[in-house]
Structure formats: C-alpha cells, structure tokens
Amino acid sequence: MEQEILNDEKKSKYELILEEYDILEKYQDKLILKIEKQTTIQTKVWAIVPFLKFIKNKSINEVTKDDVEGYYRSLIKLKKKTNTIRRYLIELRYFLKIYKPINNFFEDIKIKKDKSKLPTDAILTKDEAMKVLMQARNYRDRALIFLLWDSAARLSEILNLKKCDIQFDQYGGTIRVDGKTEDRIIRLTDSVPDVQELVNRHTGSINDFLFCSPDGKQLTAHGAQNIVGRAAKRSGIDKNVHPHIFRHSKLTYLAKHGMMEMELRIFAGWSNDSDMPATYLHLSGADIEDRVLQIAGIKKIEKVEEVNTSIKTCPRCHTLNSFDTVYCRNCSMILDQTRANPVNPEIEKIQKDMEIKMIEIEMNAYIRPDKMKVKDLQYKIGTLRKYIRSGKRPDERILHKHEFINLSPEELELYKNEIAEAKEELEELKHGIQELTSDYQKQIDELKGK
C-alpha cells in the first residue's frame, strides 16, 4: 500500500483528476483530435470538474436541464466572478454537446459577461513603466520588462520566446509569438537594444528559450512576477504592478494615441469576434470633458511631456543603445554628457558594497516567508504519512489525550490527496526559492565584477 501511496504522490493534480473521472479522460482524447495546445486542453478539462462534483455520482447520460440550471444557481451562490461563471458555462455547453448533442439545457440561461472597463488610475503611464524598467537589476530583467511594454504581448507569449523567434533588421527588430488565436509577428521599437543585448549574451542554441533562470531552465511566470514586482517596489510606484498590467497599459496608450480598433486586434492578437478592444477604446470622464472644452475653444489642452524612449545610435560605431544609456555599450563613447561624471573609485566601492548589502537584505525578506512555508509543508507531509502508515489518526473529539482511531477509507484517500497537493506546492516553493536565490546571487556577482 505504501508503494501505491508513493506512486500517487508523483502524479500531478491533473493526472489524479483524470483517474477520478473516466469521462474526463475520454473528453481529453476527443479534444486532442481538435486542439493542438496541451495547456488549452487541460484548461477545458479543468472547467468541467466543478460540474461533475456538483452532480456527484450521476452519469452524463442522466444529466437533465434541472441539473445544469441548478449548477448555474450554485455558481451564483458561491459568488463566483461573472466571467468565471461565463467560462464554466461555455465550456460545459461545449462538453455536453459532444455527449448529449440534442439538448435544451441552456435555453433559459442567459450567459452574462462582465463588461467593466479597466480603471484609468490602475494602468501605468509610459513614464511609470520606464521607472520600473530602470530599476531592473540586470540585462535579462531589463529586456523582460521592456518587452512587456514595447510588444504588449501576454506574459506566456514572452516567456515562450526562443532565440530563433527574434529577428533584427534595418528598422529594429521583430518577435514571433505563439498567441491564443494564432502566431503573429510583433514589431519592436524602443526595446531593440535591450533585446539585442540579451540575445548577444545568451549562451544557448537558437532553439533555447530566450528568458532563462541562472540554472538554464525556462524562466517561470512566478519568477517573472517576482522580477517585475521587485523592480516596481524599488521604483516607488504606488500601484499594483504585475506583468499583465504592462499589456493593459500599452494597449490603452496606443488606443489613446490613435490606433484604430482593427489595428489593435492585429497587434494584440485578438480574434475578429473578440470584444476585448472595447476594454481599451475608452477614455476617462476627464478626457471627454477636456475634448469638449477644446472643441469649443474654451480650454487649450497642453501636451503632457513624457519620457523620451527613442533609441540612441552611437555616432562613432553606429551601435543601437537604449534611451537611458550614458556610454555606448560597444565603444564606450559618451552618449549622455550631463550624466557622464567621473566617479571616485573609493566612493564607487562603498556604493557597491551598500548596494550588495541592500540586495542581500531584500533577498532574505522575500525568501524567509517561503522557507517557513516549506517547513510547515514538510511537517504536514510527515504527519500525514505517519497516519497512513499506522492506519490511525488522533481522535479530535478527545482533548488533551493521545487517543487514536482507525482511518476510514475516505480519510485515507483524503490524506493521500492532501499529501500529493502539499508535495506539489512544496516543489513549487523550493524551485521558486532556488530561482530567486540564483537571481539575487547573479546580481551580486555582477556588482562584484565576477
């Protein structure tokens, strides 16, 4: 039995759910014939799980209209978000159409959609995005943040980029991303020097991922969120800054600067029937009021100065340099005379030592909570394993006594699932700690000149 438990622990949540519901394994097999992306297939399968739990032991052939309507009401009672309910119902309708093609299950259900706009004060201005960028600790992090803004691509699209997906030309460069709807080419502008620097210093083959952690593995979404979050915190911007906010912000910026709806669809990778452009093609009340006053000649709208992110081309060697570069990255020619002041070596060493100390303090502050979670999870796993091996657990009805009662089959199964979930969370935490530590160590090594 213990070997069986260990085998179960090695399985992912997705594999366990397929074993629990035979119908989902069959559904997955049907989806594989129509859908290429494994992540999309898993998303569609997971969306059916809440319904199967709701109908309990009832087979799909026994499902009725009352079941579907009851499920819909249960989602509302659970206060699920409007768009979550919408997604669950759309996926369920697709699922039931396969197994019960002729049905009237959804005829009385109006699938609502949350049409709320993005709060105008939640997005980043261009200046704020560049402030976050300038707080990146190394060339990789800087390229990541600049790409998030410049391309307005989804985080998953950027993290899945490989060296072979980057092309440079006389206008700068392009990236080829594997989007939700189809592959698309995105023209890069101001981020080109930083992306070029990353590509030039990348030691892998052309088929390797562009963004890697120090151990050579693909940078995870969790790792990217940490990079952006830490840079934002250092910048002092008092907003909820995460990777996807750069997409929201850049698309809003493009819409306000005159990009038309069809152009936005192509640039952002939306399908022709998507209503996502409506989220961005809106202005605040203040924008509309200013425009009315401007047309009436009552108020003159002053142009807001924003940071100039134009590429600096070195006049000596013609290398492309980023907008905030002081010295050419190729020949070291001064490109910003006002910032190119000589530095006292002793002061520079003191500043570097202080910066290293601050990095170490910051690293420990981020890692300490995760290390405590690791200890808690290890204790939980050890305790549950002990109960499973002995077949007994403490009797919670008796206080201050070490009385044990036999485990029921349901409790045994529950503990096995809890161990599997805890192990999965533990591995994710350990990987996150290792990735974070490696990132910080890389920053320290760069400051030390290693």
For the chain, the domains span: 2-99, 126-295, 345-448
Q: What is the pLDDT of residue 152?
A: 92
* pLDDT tens column, 269-289: 877 767 676 666 655 455 667
| Average pLDDT of every residue of the chain | 85
> Tens digit of pLDDT for each residue in 135-183?
998 999 999 999 999 999 999 899 999 999 999 998 889 999 986 667 8
Q: In what order do the strands lie in the sheet with 166-169?
A: 166-169, 172-178, 183-188
Q: Above 90 in pLDDT, residue 71? A: yes
pTM for this entry: 0.60
pLDDT at 117: 56
> Does 2-99 match 126-295 in CATH topology?
no
CATH 1.10.287 given to domain 2-99: no
Q: What is the pLDDT of residue 213?
A: 85
Any idea what DSSP says for residue 206? Answer: T
> Under DSSP, is residue 417 helix (H, G, I), strand (E, B) or coil?
helix
**Which pLDDT band holds residue 305 (cuts at 50, 70, 90)?**
confident
pLDDT grade for 215, boundaries at 50, 70 and 90: confident
pLDDT over threshold 50, residue 2: no
User: Residue 264 — pLDDT band, cuts 50, 70, 90?
Assistant: confident
- First CA to last CA distance, the chain: 52
For residue range 21-50, what is the model confidence (pLDDT) as tens digits? 999 999 999 999 988 778 788 889 999 999
Gap between the Cα atoms of 147 and 28, Å rounded: 35
Give the CATH number of domain 126-295.
1.10.443.10
Query: Around Cβ 260, how many Cβ atoms within 10 Å?
Result: 11
pLDDT exceeds cutoff 60 at 399: no
Which of these, 347, 325, 346, 352, lies nearest to 336 by C-alpha position?
325
* Digit-coded pLDDT (tens) for 412-437: 888 888 898 888 888 888 888 888 88
**Cβ-count burial 418-438 (b if 16+ within 10 Å, e if not):** ebbebeeebeebebbbebbee
| Residue 212, SS3 per DSSP | strand
- Give me the mean pLDDT over the 309-330 stretch: 88
* pLDDT confidence band for 5 (50 / 70 / 90): very low
Confidence grade of residue 342 (pLDDT, cut at 50, 70, 90) = low
pLDDT band at 6 (very low <50, low <70, confident <90, very high): very low
In this prediction, residue 81 carries a pLDDT of 83
Percent of the chain at pLDDT > 90 equals 40
